[in-house]
Amino acid sequence: MTIIVYELVGGDASRPFSPHCWKTLMSLAHKGLDYRREPVPFTGVPKVEGGAGKTVPIIRDGERVVVDSFDIALYLDEAYPDRPSLFGGEGGKSMARFVEAWTATQINAVIIGHIVQEIHQMLAPDDQTYFRQSREERFGMSLEECRQATQERFDSLKGRLDPLRLMLKRQPFIGGESPLFCDYIVFGAFQWSRICSPVELLDTDDPVNDWFQSLLDLYDGLGRSVPAAA
């Protein structure tokens, strides 16, 4: 049975950019499952599957609807235990929550201020209105002010990646010799930036860049199916 994955898109449905949706695409590919992608604009999310969740990704697998990229990964491991695991055991499920929290606070929260205007420009008109209002309320400033107000944080990004850089001296993926969901969590952040903004986050000689490029190569170059922003 083909799994339906609802994923966020802007005005151009061929450039899905949501970091969380990318985690789910990589998870489905990791499990080797058939899936069909359903594009959803921001303002369409409340209508998905009769209002199943407030955010995408959402998947439908037969009778089952699952919301949230982490919960989807947990579901996929439970429903398809004979396919490659996304967590590598119970300890991995718990520690992936730490990787998730690290990514949210140290990467995504740093990138957003830098690319929020680019995201806005990618959206269809109705979504632009929703996005500007909700994000300006969240950040307490206009979208146009965000970049300058968060520049210092953004400049600190490379240093914040030291944990990943040090770990990569020992093993090629956070999951060990091959990637697990924890890698896709961090991948989602860099893929989001890659698709929304032409600013390169990583130097070409940074081991973190090598790691990211190898994840872009996976599953017949799934991540490269959307070209980088020019």
Binding site for a second copy (CB under 8 A): 85, 87-102, 104-106, 162-167, 170-171, 173-177, 180, 182
Given the complex with a second copy, which of 13 and 157 has the nearer CB atom?
Answer: 157
Given the complex with a second copy, which of 130 and 173 has the nearer CB atom?
Answer: 173
CA atoms of 17 and 111, how far apart (whole Å)? 13
Q: What is the closest distance, in whole angstroms, from the C-beta atom of residue 165 to a second copy in the complex? A: 8
* Closest-CA residue to 39 (of 15, 9, 67): 9
Given the complex with a second copy, which of 35 and 139 has the nearer CB atom?
Answer: 139
Q: What is the closest distance, in whole angstroms, from the C-beta atom of residue 111 to a second copy in the complex? A: 15
Q: Tokens representing 203?
A: 């130097």
* Closest-CA residue to 206 (of 169, 152, 153, 154): 169
Bridge partners of 58? 6, 67
Amino acid at 201: L
Given the complex with a second copy, which of 35 and 173 has the nearer CB atom?
Answer: 173
Q: What is the closest distance, in whole angstroms, from the C-beta atom of residue 93 to a second copy in the complex? A: 7
Q: What is the closest distance, in whole angstroms, from the C-beta atom of residue 94 to a second copy in the complex? A: 3
Q: What is the closest distance, in whole angstroms, from the C-beta atom of residue 223 to a second copy in the complex? A: 21
Given the complex with a second copy, which of 105 and 225 has the nearer CB atom?
Answer: 105
* Closest-CA residue to 171 (of 120, 180, 36): 180
Burial of 73 (0-12, 13-18, 19+ CB in 10 A): buried
